[in-house]
Structure 1
């Protein structure tokens, strides 16, 4: 019997899920409804479903009729791809109404909402899965395998640098993410992926978090300090944006125009705000020091204005050192090609034994986003999942631990003090 799925939030993250069901998983999954605050955007998703995937259009429900949708369409699972600050509401409502949940990361944005979700899971005995697709990328799985196989022994310290380029990184400062109340900032919205990877790689959880961060590149004040005077609120119909390499022109991208520009009359959301405008409350330059329960130490940094996209991570262990560098293609929501989303452009994994010759480890990338990791995740969600020795499927526990790391980082930035993660949560 096919499982029934309803999806909430038909913005940029939604097609990854509903497109996969319509294209690849019709034998095991059935789309039964879309739900959103914006009817224009839902209509566009429905049209894509029909035109691009040859799938019949499905019923649409405004967000105020969420409960009606659940009772009428009877989904087994609700997929949540709405704005981050609303995840907890839809997760809890879905659980209370008898549904399981698949949610985009981050699971939620603050401690109180996280506690409410955990209480609802305990109360209803239903399931919440968080879609950490980076776990499934072949190079990240290989790192896990090398550590499990004791190639460099016990890992004592990790240096982890993540670079967001000026296409991807800037986009967080154009959109709703720029308001920390919506996204929790990059330590929650973006770094939840990275903190989860470290938990996954090292099979441990964080104990103490100390963080520093600031808005150093984006924002009006920083632009003024560099002599920029060409200020505007949004790119649409503003000539001052024509020569700004950080601007995005929604009219030039048919997909973004239909999803956002044509829909903004309903909710007033502007997808193309200036990254050098006022009202930005998230950081673009971040450093975090974390001690884990197994005594490993992580030195993490995130910068959102780099000339390349990807990460460098180094593991120092009792038997040697593991060095990794991965360069990625930027992602679709900034106007790129869906086929190239998360595509691995360059990579190397190098093992340096304590007593022996260094050598490189070959990793075969597959078709699909994130080196073939995305199709593996989608099959795990909607197809016939297989036994996985690496345990890549992420639960609500994994989702909570990763966001609490970022939340602790935000608290540390505000207070100037280290934060113990266990003290945040009951």
Structure 2
């Protein structure tokens, strides 16, 4: 049976999904329409379909005509890759109109919208899948296997440091993510990956969250405190930006130019804002402590301005310790190098038993982005799913439990108090 798909939001993350459908899954999947607030951007997506994937152009609908698109195209599934703050709108409408949903992470940005999605799933009986590709990476699956097999016994604590470098990390401060109303900040938009991994690795869910952090490096006030005086609001047309290593030149990248610069006339969105400009209200330095229902604790940190990209995580258990070091390829969203997203440069998993010698764990080499996780996830979404002993397919419940850690963290940042996750939504 061939399933029909429509896609909402043709920005930076869209091609990851629609490219896979038309390139690798034509026998099981059919892409029938794009939907967006911006016609220029949809036209560019159609050009890519034709020129890059040898696929006929498809119907386009402006966002205001979403319901008409569903009525006309009769999709089985709606793929949601729009701005984070709008995810819930399209997810809920799609469910109510009889469609299943595949949504980009994060599923949504706050507890109220999360509750609305939970209620819609319950009311309609339809399915929401959240695309957590990091679960599928062979090294992350191996960590789950080691813990599940009891190699270090019961896990009592986890230390998890995620580093975003000055290429990838800075990009969140150039784009719409810099406004917390759009993204929920990095604790929701980015850390949803990481909190989901901990839930997945430990087979548990968060109970209490306490967070600290702020905007320490990016933003005009921080630049001024470091003696920076040559400011600009966006790179395009700015002489000052030419000497700024944090600036991005849309004119130099034909993909970015077509997707964003040429589309500005319709919605006014500027993809190349200064990371040291005004209007940034998300954090770049974050620390979170989480207490889980299985009594494990997590000490987590995220910094978005470091000289390397990747993560270090250690698990401390009743029979020993696991240490994981992963260095990733740096990446700029929708910069035309999506095959390099999350590509591994170095990785190691070391098991340290309590009373015997430490040893390195052999890790299967995965092809493709996110450490080899992307092709496996896409097969699971659009092909014929294989039996999976690790249950990596993520539902709306998994999507909720990952973002609720970040949402609770945001509340804690504002109140200075620990936050109980169970009080945020009802399943």
* TM-score, structure 1 as length reference: 0.99
How big is each residue's C-alpha offset from its partner over 1:39-97, in whole Å with a ceiling of 9 and x where there is no partner? 00000000000100000100000000000000000000000000000000000000000
Q: Is 1:28 aligned with 2:25?
A: no
Segment drifting more, 115-124 vs 323-332:
323-332
* TM-score, structure 2 as length reference: 0.99
Residues 221-370 of structure 1 aligned to structure 2 (within 5 Å) = 221-333=221-333, 335=335, 337-370=337-370
How far apart, in 2, do the equivalents of 1:352 and 1:278 lie?
A: 47
How far apart, in 2, do the equivalents of 1:348 and 1:55 lie?
A: 40
CA RMSD, Structure 1 to Structure 2 (Å): 0.7
How far apart, in 2, do the equivalents of 1:193 and 1:124 lie?
A: 27
SS at match of 2:53: coil
1:171–1:334 CA contact under 8 A, matched in 2: no
* Unaligned residue ranges in structure 1 (runs of 5+): none
Q: CA deviation at 1:332?
A: 4.2
How big is each residue's C-alpha offset from its partner over 1:361-380, in whole Å with a ceiling of 9 and x where there is no partner? 11122211122110000000
SS at match of 1:400: helix
Q: Is 1:52 aligned with 2:52?
A: yes
Q: CA deviation at 1:338?
A: 2.2
Q: CA deviation at 1:334?
A: 6.2
How big is each residue's C-alpha offset from its partner over 1:201-243, in whole Å with a ceiling of 9 and x where there is no partner? 0000000000001000000000000000110000001000001
- The equivalent of 2:371 in structure 1 is 371
- The equivalent of 1:199 in structure 2 is 199
How far apart, in 2, do the equivalents of 1:334 and 1:223 lie?
A: 27
Residues 100-111 of structure 1 aligned to structure 2 (within 5 Å) = 100-111=100-111
How far apart, in 2, do the equivalents of 1:265 and 1:189 lie?
A: 27
How far apart, in 2, do the equivalents of 1:315 and 1:266 lie?
A: 49
Q: CA deviation at 1:331?
A: 2.3
2:135–2:373 CA contact under 8 A, matched in 1: yes
- The equivalent of 1:119 in structure 2 is 119
How far apart, in 1, do the equivalents of 2:101 and 2:335 lie?
A: 29
Residues 126-275 of structure 1 aligned to structure 2 (within 5 Å) = 126-275=126-275
1:168–1:334 CA contact under 8 A, matched in 2: no
SS at match of 2:405: helix
Residues 378-397 of structure 1 aligned to structure 2 (within 5 Å) = 378-397=378-397
How big is each residue's C-alpha offset from its partner over 1:172-205, in whole Å with a ceiling of 9 and x where there is no partner? 0000000000000000000000000000000000
Moved over 3 A (4+): none
- The equivalent of 1:94 in structure 2 is 94
How far apart, in 1, do the equivalents of 2:221 and 2:22 lie?
A: 46
1:160–1:299 CA contact under 8 A, matched in 2: yes
Q: CA deviation at 1:341?
A: 1.5
- The equivalent of 2:9 in structure 1 is 9
- The equivalent of 1:84 in structure 2 is 84
How far apart, in 2, do the equivalents of 1:10 and 1:242 lie?
A: 29
Q: CA deviation at 1:335?
A: 2.8
1:330–1:336 CA contact under 8 A, matched in 2: no
2:232–2:238 CA contact under 8 A, matched in 1: yes
* Paired positions, count: 426
SS at match of 1:52: helix
SS at match of 1:286: strand
1:7–1:78 CA contact under 8 A, matched in 2: yes
- The equivalent of 1:414 in structure 2 is 414
How big is each residue's C-alpha offset from its partner over 1:388-413, in whole Å with a ceiling of 9 and x where there is no partner? 00000000000001111100000001
Q: CA deviation at 1:336?
A: 5.9
2:137–2:366 CA contact under 8 A, matched in 1: no
SS at match of 1:163: strand
How far apart, in 2, do the equivalents of 1:234 and 1:332 lie?
A: 17
Q: Is 1:72 aligned with 2:72?
A: yes
SS at match of 1:211: strand
2:256–2:336 CA contact under 8 A, matched in 1: no
How far apart, in 2, do the equivalents of 1:110 and 1:402 lie?
A: 12
* Unaligned residue ranges in structure 2 (runs of 5+): none
